[in-house]
Amino acid sequence: MTSCPPDYSAHFDSPKDGAFSTVNTPLDLPLGGGEMGRFIRETDWSTSALGPKQAWPAALLSSMNLMLSCPDSMYLLWGPDYTLFFNDAYSQVLPIATRQAQGQPIASVWGDAWEAVRPLAEQALAGQSRRSDNIQRTIVRNGKPEQTWWSLSYSPLYGDSGLIEGVFCRVNETTLQVMAEARQSENEAFTDRVLSSINDCIKVLDLDSRLTF
């Protein structure tokens, strides 16, 4: 049996006994999502590349619900322009992720940084999930340029027709991990140098104070 996509325009009527007041307006999707979810719901998208929100595909709205409800940093890209939408967690780790960046082509938001990860998104659009760890980027945070590292996981998003029309991306900042591993490597290298210099200077004397090694 073929299942049909959920009818998001369905209205909800009150019980016959009048226990609840009648609700005659459709669900205002996407649901949840804190500040970013509220911004997406309240914005007039009629002049955007995607058109009015009432005409958005059910698959896009469902994907937004999942993304906005996720506690991890996530964004999705939709359509040929890679239209960007993201959740609150993503907006808190990247200064460029302002409300004005919602619904914009990602190339106009990320600039040159987009070209570094675009192949991953293109492979996801081709049906191949991809992950890249510890991508190095310099970003301006707290008013200062900062060297950072990120891991990105891309997976395909299927549209209402069953074709891939977008991609999901889960974002994880690995800056602290990379820096900790670098410090550990430096400490190990320093220890090796110290031990090597000690070994070079070891002299062994016998009981008569004669050099034997």
Q: Read off the CATH number of the domain in which 65 is found.
A: 3.30.450.20
Are residues 201 and 135 both part of a single domain? no
Q: Enumerate long-range contacts of 116-120, CB under 8 Å, 24 or more apart.
A: 117/152, 120/152, 120/154
What percent of the chain has pLDDT above 70? 74
Q: Is residue 9 part of a domain?
A: no
φ and ψ at residue 184, rounded to 5 degrees: -65, -40
Using pLDDT thresholds of 50, 70 and 90, give the confidence band for residue 160.
very high
Are residues 69 and 162 both part of a single domain? yes
Query: Could you give the CA distance from residue 156 to residue 172 in angstroms, rounded to a whole number?
Result: 18
DSSP class of residue 71 equals: S
Q: Is residue 2 part of a domain?
A: no
Residue 121 host element (H or E):
helix 113-125
Output the pTM of the full model: 0.72
* DSSP reduced 3-state for 211: strand
- Interior angle at CA 109, CA 108 and CA 113, nearest 5: 95
Model pLDDT for residues 95-119, shown as the tens digit of each residue = 788 899 999 999 999 888 899 899 9
Are residues 95 and 130 both part of a single domain? yes
- Give the pLDDT confidence score for residue 109 in this predicted structure: 92
Query: Could you give the CA distance from residue 100 to residue 166 in angstroms, rounded to a whole number?
Result: 20
- What average pLDDT score do residues 173-186 get? 81
- Give the pLDDT confidence score for residue 194 in this predicted structure: 61
**Are the C-beta atoms of 75 and 85 separated by less than 8 Å?**
yes
Q: Which domain holds residue 145?
A: 34-173
